[in-house]
Amino acid sequence: MMCFSVISYLQDKKMIRRNKTKEIRIGNRVIGGTNPILVQSMTNTYTGNIGKTMRQIRKLIRADCEIVRVAVPDIESCKAIALFKKKVHIPIIADIHFDYRLAVRAIEEGADKIRINPGNIGKKANIKKIVVKAKNAGIPLRIGVNAGSLEKELCRKYGGPVPDALVESTLRNVEIVESFGFHDIVISIKSSSVLDTIDATIKVARVMDYPIHLGITESGPIASGTIKSAAGISVLLHRGIGDTIRVSLTGDPVSEVVVGYGILQSLNLRVHGPDIISCPTCGRMEVDIAPIVKKVEQRTSNLCENIKIAIMGCIVNGPGEARIADIGIACGKGAAILFKKGKIVKKVSEKEMLKTFLDEIDTLVEKSPRKQRKDNKKSRK
């Protein structure tokens, strides 16, 4: 399974190189190969509570979540999957631990993929039952190795869930699944340690061509979790590793989707709405741009296309940043200069700058041949 070839992407004159991985179908989506890196999330409700979980899945879909995972701790949760499948168009992944019978039942109920950690499923015979069922159903398995649930003998061997222990667990469990003639595999190696996750994932990516799902597990609340996730996931993506991502945050899972797209867009790997450039603010500012930034963000939140919008507050970097954006405004004392596509359009007073700027953004979007709004979109690659 050695694979060292790469696919090159040229976006915005920046070369992004991705590892070439095997294509795997998950429901109506395909990952790996040249396919887009997909953003996924996981519900945090009890899956057996169908109404509550369904409402959360719909919220995630409205946020453009492309794959959703649900915890399956019991039979009632398995049964719920069949109902979800009737009402949503995105793939549903069943997250299974310990009991192989839940994985088998989840497949029977229509799950599009099963996530297991073979290390806590137990006997090889039980793993085989899952594999045979998945093969007959034509769905993939994600082998998910986590530092928090690493096999005890590996923890003893390495003195803890260090990268080499995570790598050995991954290779061992992949080999078990492959021994049953199954190769529709997705891999994830996660730790709450950013550096351990990076190290282990890079080592596995060097010797396998299966698609890899990225994330920093138990990364924490929104602020610190976003920082840790962005740090770890971005390093791996920049190295060409990763076919799906999940930003694991404590709280509303919609935030995971927002941050996930933000990471991909910052690396020019996906387009997901405007890129707003704004001043960090300093003592040279003569106009309060914070309210302007907030209003622009609200006005453009439902746009799909990647237009660069610059909102600058002083003469040092303001004109330069505004000039290289699709549309920008450079504020000064009592007035601002409006730029479009590198050219000065007009000078406006401080009193009129917000309304003028918003109107000009609307005009730019209306004239765009690529105009598309998220609420009118059924799917996007």
How crowded is residue 216: how many other Cβ atoms within 10 Å of its Cβ?
A: 25
Q: Distance between CA 288 and CA 272 in Å, rounded? A: 28
Residue ranges, the chain, pLDDT below 50 = 1-13, 370-373, 375-381
At a CB cut-off of 8 Å and minimum separation 6, what does 332 contact? 286, 287, 314, 315, 318
> Are 216 and 197 a contacting pair, CB within 8 Å?
yes
The pLDDT, as a whole number, for residue 364 is 84
What pLDDT shows up at residue 277? 84
Find residue 141's DSSP bridge partners: 114, 185
Neighbours of 136 (CB within 10 A): 9
* Rg, Å, the chain Cα set: 23
Q: Does domain 6-266 have CATH number 3.20.20.20?
A: yes
Q: Please say whether the structural domain 275-376 has been given the CATH code 3.90.470.10.
A: no
Q: Do domains 6-266 and 275-376 have the same CATH topology?
A: no
Name, in order, each residue with C-beta under 8 angstroms of 63's C-beta and a sequence gap of 6 or more: 254, 257, 258
pLDDT at 14: 58
Task: Quote the tokens at residue 381.
Answer: 């690659």
Nearest 10 degrees: CA dihedral of 228, 230, 232, 237? 170
pTM, rounded to two decimals: 0.85
Q: So where are the chain's domains?
A: 6-266, 275-376
Q: What whole-number distance in Å separates Cα of residue 295 and Cα of residue 293?
A: 6
What the block records as the tokens of 351 is 């009193």
Q: Which of 375, 264, 278 is nearest to 321 (CA)?
A: 278
Q: What is the pLDDT of residues 300-332, one digit of tens each?
A: 877 767 788 999 887 777 888 888 889 999 888
Cβ(170)–Cβ(149) below 8 Å: no
pLDDT at residue number 297: 87
